[in-house]
Structure 1
């Protein structure tokens, strides 16, 4: 059997409620040379039955005893047959044309190692999230957070294997951010300047349930990426810059006067103009969040 061009890697644990819509959105893509590798991480709900009832021959199922997300992702990397690996979560939906547009970009640019896209929020929040599109902007953003939305990402499998890049168990809840940080040493990063994913926002997702531990690991990665650029910064200082507390006009004004200039300096010192541009984008988003919260919120 010939290997497909793309492996769509989808880990799932007890995802019966949203899995059918996620699978349908992938199988409806206008680029057809792919396999869907679903890593069923010990599901004990209706997930196995849904997978067993899928009649599309492009589906492969890897059944594991409960190992956790990072173990499931690495098992998927080991079993993927495609030269390109497209990530997808079982509670999200792939927008039409995503795979085709990402594959076209990889074929035009042999040095590209990871490509995501802008994405749409749905569920308990709505809106369009824009990402940095050029390689320089993606690299500059790595000192402030992940530039690529994990379930919208496509990765070059050969670069992962040649450089020994995998999901790291010592970076839980931000393993994707660490992977992109390491993969950046192997080649270029990019995002499609159009939505490729509908990202479901709900109370049970990792960013809600594990918000505190995730933030701690994200700050650690940001500090490591800054140190690699010769700009050592403590995680405590980064937390004040990237996750300001409070809310309302007074706290927003204090952030604009005290913290935004610090953020801009970090961006400039790490990546010059691209870094400054990303710092201003990040700072503007933090100001928006402060203004959306009640005054005095902690």
Structure 2
């Protein structure tokens, strides 16, 4: 059997509630040269039944003893047959045309190693999230956070394997941010200027359940990326810039006057105008969060 152009990689652990919708969104894509590789990481709910009820021949299921998300992702990288790997989480949904647009972009640019999209929030929160566009913008954003939404990403498998880039077990809850940071040394990163993902917001997701550990790992990666540019900044200082403490109008004003200029200077030192542009985006998001309380 010939290899598909794309492997859609979906790790899942006890995700029966939304997995069917995630799969349906993939099988509805207008690009059809793909396989769906679901790595069932020791589910004890109805996940196996949901998968058994799917009769599409493009579905492959790999069942593991409970190994954790990073282990499941790396096993998926090892088992993927497509040279392009499209990520999707079991509680999210692909928007129509995503695979067609991302594959076309990879075929036009052999340097491209990771491509994401904008994404729509749904569930407990709604809205459209705009992502950095060009490679330069994505690289500038790496000192503040991940420039690509992981479940909206498509990766070039041959680049991962040639350079030994994988999900790192010592970067829990931000393994995608570390992966994109490493891939930036291999080729170019970018995002398509249109939404390709519906991202479900709910209390059970990692960003809520593991908020503290995720923040620690996130700040460590930011500090490492800054160090790669010759800039030294402690995670404590970065934390004050990227995770301001809510406190009403006083905290909002204090961040706008005291921290935002420091954030802009950091962006300038990192990548001049592109860095300042990304710092403005990050600073605006933090100010909005402070205003909301």
TM range (shorter): over 0.9
Pairwise mapping of residues 11-26 of structure 1 onto structure 2 (< 5 A)? 11-26=11-26
Aligned to 1:97: 97
- Deviations along 1:209-233, one digit per CA (max 9) or x if unpaired, are 0000000000000000000001110
Query: Which has the higher mean CA deviation after the structures are superposed, 208-217 or 238-247?
Result: 238-247
- Deviation (angstroms), 1:45: 1.1
Deviations 1:161-215 (A, max 9, x none): 0110000000000000000000110000000111100000000100000000000
C-alpha separation in 2, matches of 1:260 and 1:120: 27
**Match in the other structure for 1:141:** 141
Q: How far apart, in 2, do the equivalents of 1:96 and 1:49 lie?
A: 26
> Structure 1 runs of 4+ off > 2 angstroms?
none
Q: In structure 1, the residue corresponding to 2:227 is in which secondary structure?
A: helix
Taking the aligned partners of 2:271 and 2:164, their CA distance within structure 1 comes to 26
The whole-number CA distance in structure 1 between the counterparts of 2:287 and 2:101 is 33
Instruction: Give me the whole-angstrom Cα distance separating, in 1, the residues matched to 2:52 and 2:286.
Output: 45
Q: Which residue of 2 aligns with 1:159?
A: 159
Aligned to 1:51: 51
Give the Å deviation of 1:246.
1.8
Report how far residue 247 of structure 1 moved. Answer: 3.4
- 2:197 corresponds to which residue? 197
The 8 Å contact of residues 143 and 223 in structure 1, kept in 2 or not, is answered as yes
Question: What is aligned with 1:37?
Answer: 37
The answer for the alignment partner of 2:87 in structure 1 is 87
In the comparison of the two structures, how many residue pairs are matched? Answer: 293
Q: Which residue in the other structure is 1:296 paired with?
A: none
2:207 aligned residue: 207
Structure 1 unaligned residues grouped into runs of 5+: 294-298
Q: What SS class does the counterpart of residue 17 from structure 1 fall into?
A: helix
* Distance in structure 2 (CA, Å) of the matches to 1:248 and 1:6: 48
Partner of 2:246: 246
Structure 1 range deviating more: 154-163 or 46-55: 46-55
Q: TM-score, normalised by structure 2?
A: 0.99
Matches within 5 A, 1:159-178: 159-178=159-178
